[in-house]
Structures are given as structure tokens and as C-alpha cells.
Amino acid sequence: MSRTPFRLFSPLLLSLLCATPLAALAKDVLLGASVQLTGPVANTGRYYRDAYQIAIDKINAAGGVKIGGEAHQLALKLYDNQSDVNLSVRQYTQLISQDKVNLLLGPFASNFALADSAVSEKYKVPMVQGGGASDQIFSRQFKYIFGTLAPASNYFGSTINMLKELKPAPKTVALLYADDAFDVSVAEGTRPKLKAAGFNVVMDERYSTNATDFNSLLSQIKSKKADAVLVAGHETEILNFVRQAKSLSVAPKMYSFTVGVPSEDFRKALGPDAEYAFGMTAWLPLASQKDRWFGDAAQFAKEYKAKYGYDPDYHAASGAADVEALVQAMEDANSLDPQKVRDALAKVKFDSLYGPIAFSQSGQIDLPQVVIQVQDNKVAEIYNAKGFATKPKYPMPAWSTR
Amino acid sequence: MDLFIQILVNGALLGGLYAVMALGLALVWGVLNIVNLAHGAFIMLGAYSSWYLYSYLHIDPFIGLPITAVIMFVVGYVLQRGLLNLVIRAPMFNTLLITFGLEVVLTYLAQIMFSADFRTINPEYAGNNLQFGHIVVPIVPLAAFGAAIVLTIGMWLFLLHTRLGMAIRATAQNLLAARLYGVEPRHLYATTFGLGLALAGAAGGLYGTVSQINPYIGATLTAKSFAIAIIGGLDNPLGVLVGGLFLGIVESLTALYIGPTYSDVASFGILVLVLILRPSGLLGKTA
């Protein structure tokens, strides 16, 4: 609650922050973004506002972007799209046509990136976005969209590899997913992988986004005896899912969720009931991930927490990497010209706090997902490309014995 | 068979909660002829109130319910006297606009005050359940179901048998006659709106104990309450209870047999059917 006065005045501060450097330094590089600061997805949207700002401040403090031997400072023009896709499309159009931003940073969530990338494509201004993972965004042969989230279709890839090695081995799997761009892509990628791994898929159900009642699905999971339950959805749905699983005593051998598990908010809301939940992340704050500006990922996490008062998750790291990718590409191109920066982005290759940054032909990064689990109210790294890192808590015990 | 019974139980329990959510909306609509589009936002505020009482003052959510209800009653009384009463004689469109505006303002105030973080009211016993053979009955939804029945019957008895309740019904039926008999409509309207909000507050407390709370849950809850009020009819709290149970069971069965994406299609499809076939609700008097 101590942040309330700041929150009240933050729109004012934000506009001041955006306006002053603009007027003072004409040579600034202006980056534009529209992010969910209010509305139902504001909870995750804030990661992007905070990540963009901390990365820009850090790069400016280190001298800014060097183009043609001259240092330019970065500035951010940020709009709140109120979690409304149509508004975000209009705001991106405004960023390009009226605010004359040089380059674009992305919104959060696949359905937003899917719509907004049509604007960047139309005006031929490159957008680097760290909030949309759906394969649909990159399947349209667009040239100006680049993404730093690992492909949605592979979110459960490492989890399925882990399932094959767990003992006692799970045999039956339930796949549940929400009906939006991201989660449908996750399901489409997961289905063939489950089949190839030889699992018996006893449930394959799509549910409405923003569903609050999972009692029917949970009762079916119990009666069909699914050993492993994979859920692709939104954090609000996952919270209800776990709470209702407890109240109906539904305890499969394991369950894994595409969202929630890496974020502090999830563990706070569920308390001890968050234990045993599996999830995945393409990023962990490891000191081994070196970064030109922050030193390394652990340092980034520390500074981020100190500045904003909460732990960054992979969304935040991905957002910071977007700013770095644009800066790297401007320096590689030695130009601010959108076309040249775009070509440099297509070839960009550098190590960052988020991992090695390079884009495929379609514009998407490829990072392996690490399987994580909530253990003792912390996120534990369970399974990565090399195999088990920590012993998983498996199988999940009955709720009555927890 | 076990699965079918389990789904019926789930649906009935869900329906009980639905009924509590819709009671306040139906009361305000029936008596004041205000379709309160901010109803869901008030449920959200009730949920936050219970969450505060639980998290900071360590008051059990079920003991906190009456406290939340009293707070919300006061809010409702003041809002009606100070704001809604100004447009009570105006065409319905104006009251729709003003309650819609309230919904937007309350939602964004809630985000400023409580942040967009997700909250849950999660006491030790929240996930406990009773088991009868293979059938599991979770206790918090069961308690919410019990609360729904108590509140509905309480409302019904109150409207039928107390002086205030009769005055409320009289005002709804014939304002002029009620005034001639000494009813003070301004006070009465404000009391009714306060009661509607008290019910919304109680529903919010129950909702937060079984689900998650964030500033944006309101709009969906308004839509659901609206459907239940239409299906059940506005004349009678018992109709709302029946409407809630019916909707809960239909949604659960739809999720089982047709698919979870069709739950909303089913509930709003029924809404349309009821409007065509029985416009005054399942238990309403036929025209």
C-alpha cells in the first residue's frame, strides 16, 4: 500500500518522463510501446513497462547507443492499452504516424502481438516483442516482427521429456487448454509430442478463456485417472484450478502449468497449496548468463527487485532483452534507419541476461524450456537439456496428507 | 454413474453461489427498476473487504461476511441517496448509464487501491471436503450453498412478513398508494439498494473463498447475475435460487457432455429461451 501515492501520480510522472527528454535532446532514439497497465492482464503487463524502463535507464547510464561514432540516449514512449487489443492497434499506429518513434517494442500476450505486428509490418518499422509466443505470430512471413519468447508449441517439450524419465512412470495424460492464440498453439505443439512419447491421452479439452469453474474438468480427471495433467491457460484460471483441485481432492501424480509457477504472485496467492506445481521457464537468474550492460542475469534480477520491489520472471527478462536486441541491432547497422535495423536484427547474435539472442528465418528465438517446480515456497530448477538438476517432488501426495 | 452424480453435486454447489450473487441484483431491479450494471463491481468490493478482514485483521471469512455486509449496506445507502436517487425518475437508459459509469470507476479505483495482483481468501479449511463413497463435497461451496438458502428464505420471509419488507413491496407495486400510507420512498429506496449491496458484499466474500479476486472480475459476475435474475424472475427470491441452481447444473453438465467451451453458450442460450417462452422467469407469474 505504500506505493499508492506513486500509483496515483504515475500517469502524470510517466507523461513528464516521456515529454522532457524529447524536447531537450532532439537526437534521442525514441522507442514506442503499448502495454497493458490496466485491465485484466495488467498483472503481467507491468513486467514489460518495468523491464523496458530498467533496460533503457541502464543502457543510457552506460553511454547510450553508439551510432556513427555519436552517442544517442534512449527514450521510451509508452501507452496503456487497457488490455484492449483494438486500442493497442490504434496506439501502435499513433506511435508510428504521430509520435514518430524510431523503433517498436512489443505488448504482452500473443493475441496482442498477433494484431499489433500487422501495424509494424504495414509501416515497415521493426518490432521486437517479448510477450507473444504463439507460433501464429511468426507463420505469416512477416519481415518486421521479432520475438524473444520461446515458441508456444514447445512449451511442454522439456516437460514431456521429463515425464518419460519419472518413476513411477506416468501412463495417462490429460491436456487442457484455453481457447486463445497462445494456448491453442501450445496444445497443437504438445499433442504430437505426447503421441510420439507413447502416452495415453485420456483427456484433450479446450475451455473458455476466463473460465472460473473447473469442477467438471477436475471430476473427469479423477474418474479417468489421468497421471499427468498439463494445463495451458492464464494465471487466474490456474489459481482456480489448483484451489478447486484441492477442494475436490483431485491429486494426479503431477500437474504442470504454462503460467504462474515462475511468478512470485502465484506462490503468494496460493500459499502452501502452490507446492508440487510444475511449470516451465526459458529463463532463470543465473550468474552464468553474462550481459553487456547488467553484468549477468543474477545482477539484473537483483537490480530489478531493488527498483520495483518484486522478483522478475521470464517475461521481465524477455522484455529487457528486447531493448538490448534493438540497441545491438542499431549499433550493428550503424544506423537508425528502420530498414537497416530490421536487416541487422535478422542477423543479430549476442549473449544477454536472457540467454543467447538470435532470430530464426521467421523471426522467433529458440530457447529451451527448463522444467521448474514449486518446492518449499521457492522455484526449483528440475529438468533441463542435460537431465535432472534437482530431484522432483513426485508423485504428488493426496491433498489430505499434505 | 459416480461421475454423473459428482457433476450434479458440483453444479448444484456452483448454483448456490450463483444464487447469492444474483439475489441483490434481482432485489434492486425488482423494487427500484434499476438494472445495476455495477453489481459485479460491488461483489468485487465485497470480496476485497473480506480479504482485508482476513489478511490483516485475521477475521475468518465466514465471520467477516456480516461485517462486509454492513459496510456494503452503508455504501449502498449513501450511494442511492446521494447519486442514484437523482435519476430514479429518469428513463431507464440514464440509470443504465450511471451504473455502467460506476462500474468503470469502481474497477479502476480498485486497481489503484489493491493493484492488479491476484488475491485469494485461503483459510486452512478452504480446501477441505466431505466424502460419501466416491462423491466429494467440498465444504466451502457447501457452506456457500447453505448461506444461499438461508439468505433466500430470509429475504423471502422479510419481504412477506415484516413491515419494512411489505413497505418495499408496496412501493414497487404502487408508489402513490404507498406514500399515502406513510411510506417515505427516499429512505426506503436507499434501504433497498443498501440491502442489495449487502447481499453483493456477502456474495463477494463467499466468491473470494472459492475463487480468486482481482479488480476485473466484476463484469463477468454482472452478466451471470443478470442471466440468473432473468431466468429466475424478479418477483420472488425463491425464483432466483431456482435460477441459480438450474444454471449451475446446466453449465456443469454442458462442460461434461458437450465441452467446457460451451458452458457460456448454454447459459446464455437458456437466457434467450426463457425470454421467449417465459418472459417473467421460471417461477414468475405468467403474463
Domain around A276? 154-281+369-401
Neighbours of B107 (CB within 10 A): 23
Counting every residue written for chain B, the total comes to 287
8 Å CB contact of A270 and B120: yes
8 Å CB contact of B256 and A239: no
Dist CA A354 CA A292 (whole Å):
11
- What pLDDT score does A198 carry? 94
Per-residue burial over B195-204, b = 16 or more CB atoms within 10 Å of its CB, e = otherwise: bbbbbbbbbb
Rg (CA), chain A: 21
Average pLDDT of B187-214?
92
pLDDT at A188 over 60: yes
Q: Does residue A251 share a domain with residue A193?
A: yes
8 Å CB contact of A216 and B252: yes
Within a domain: A364: no
8 Å CB contact of B141 and A247: yes
Give the contacts of B1 (CB within 8 A, at least 6 positions apart).
none
8 Å CB contact of A217 and B115: no
Inform me whether the C-beta atom of residue B204 falls under 8 Å from chain A C-beta atoms: no
8 Å CB contact of B112 and A220: no
Q: Does residue A390 share a domain with residue A265?
A: yes
Residues of B in contact with A205 (CB under 8 A): 259-260
Residue B215 CB burial class (10 angstroms; 0-12, 13-18, ≥19): buried
Residues of A in contact with B140 (CB under 8 A): 247
The three-state secondary structure class of A135 is helix
In chain A, whose CA is at the least distance from the CA of B13?
A215
Instruction: Pull the grid cell for residue A136.
Output: 501464429
Inform me whether the C-beta atom of residue B142 falls under 8 Å from chain A C-beta atoms: no
End-to-end Cα distance, chain A: 33
Q: Does residue A21 share a domain with residue A146?
A: yes
Average pLDDT of A172-182?
94
Instruction: Pull the grid cell for residue B57.
Output: 485483521
Kindly indicate whether the ipTM for this predicted assembly is greater than 0.95, answering yes or no: no
8 Å CB contact of A244 and B210: yes
Residues of A in contact with B104 (CB under 8 A): none
pLDDT band of A25, cuts 50, 70, 90: very low
Q: Does residue A323 share a domain with residue A214?
A: no
8 Å CB contact of B141 and A236: no
Residue among A4, A83, A239 minimizing CB distance to B112: A4
Q: Does residue A134 share a domain with residue A56?
A: yes
Specify the DSSP class assigned to residue A73: -
- What pLDDT score does B55 carry? 92
In chain A, whose CA is at the least distance from the CA of B257?
A216
Dist CA A125 CA A340 (whole Å):
10
8 Å CB contact of B122 and A40: no
- What pLDDT score does B285 carry? 61
CATH number at residue A59: 3.40.50.2300
Q: Does residue A210 share a domain with residue A115?
A: no
Residue among B3, B111, B139 minimizing CB distance to A219: B3
What Å distances lie between residue A373 and A199, A275, A376, B122, CA to CA? 22, 8, 10, 21
Q: Does residue A397 share a domain with residue A255?
A: yes
Residue type, B287: A
pLDDT band of B33, cuts 50, 70, 90: confident
Q: Does residue A300 share a domain with residue A243?
A: no
Contact status, residue A136 vs residue A106, Cβ threshold 8 Å: no
Query: What's the predicted TM-score (pTM) here?
Result: 0.87
8 Å CB contact of B252 and A213: yes
Cis before A168 (ω within 30)? yes
Within a domain: A362: no
8 Å CB contact of B252 and A236: no
Helix (H) or strand (E) holding B165: helix B163-173
Distance from CA of B117 to the nearest CA of A (A): 6
Residues of A in contact with B220 (CB under 8 A): 210, 212
Phi-psi label, residue A25: left if phi above 0, alpha if psi -120 to 50, beta otherwise: beta
Average pLDDT of B267-282?
86
Residues of A in contact with B11 (CB under 8 A): 215
- Domains of chain B, earliest start first: 2-277 (1.10.3470)
pLDDT at A5 over 70: no
Q: Does residue A274 share a domain with residue A168?
A: yes
Dist CA A106 CA A98 (whole Å):
18
Distance from CA of A271 to the nearest CA of B (A): 8
Contact status, residue A76 vs residue A18, Cβ threshold 8 Å: yes
- What pLDDT score does A397 carry? 95
Strand-strand pairing, A355-357 and A350-352:
antiparallel
Contact status, residue A271 vs residue B123, Cβ threshold 8 Å: no
Residue pLDDT, tens place only, B102-141: 999 999 999 999 988 889 998 888 888 999 988 999 998 8
Query: Beta strands of A148-242 (E only): which ranges?
Result: 172-178, 200-207, 228-232
pLDDT at A17 over 80: no
Distance from CA of B91 to the nearest CA of A (A): 31
Dist CA A155 CA A150 (whole Å):
7
Within a domain: A363: no
Residues of A in contact with B129 (CB under 8 A): 247-249
Residue among A4, A213, A235 minimizing CB distance to B14: A213
Inform me whether the C-beta atom of residue B118 falls under 8 Å from chain A C-beta atoms: yes
Distance from CA of A247 to the nearest CA of B (A): 4
Q: Does residue A215 share a domain with residue A91?
A: no
Residues of A in contact with B13 (CB under 8 A): 215
Residues 237-266 of chain B with CB under 8 A from chain A are 251-252, 255-256, 259-261, 263-264
- What pLDDT score does A24 carry? 42
Q: Does residue A319 share a domain with residue A386?
A: no
Residue pLDDT, tens place only, A298-347: 999 999 999 999 999 999 999 999 999 999 999 999 999 999 999 999 99
- What pLDDT score does A6 carry? 46
The region of weakest confidence among A121-135, A168-182, A354-368, B132-146 is B132-146
Within a domain: A205: yes
Contact status, residue B130 vs residue B141, Cβ threshold 8 Å: no
Give the contacts of A286 (CB within 8 A, at least 6 positions apart).
A296, A297, A298
Give the contacts of B190 (CB within 8 A, at least 6 positions apart).
B76, B77, B78, B80, B81, B85
Q: Does residue A136 share a domain with residue A245?
A: no
Inform me whether the C-beta atom of residue B220 falls under 8 Å from chain A C-beta atoms: yes
State the total domains in chain A: 2
Percentage of the residues of chain B whose pLDDT score is greater than 90:
54
Inform me whether the C-beta atom of residue B136 falls under 8 Å from chain A C-beta atoms: yes
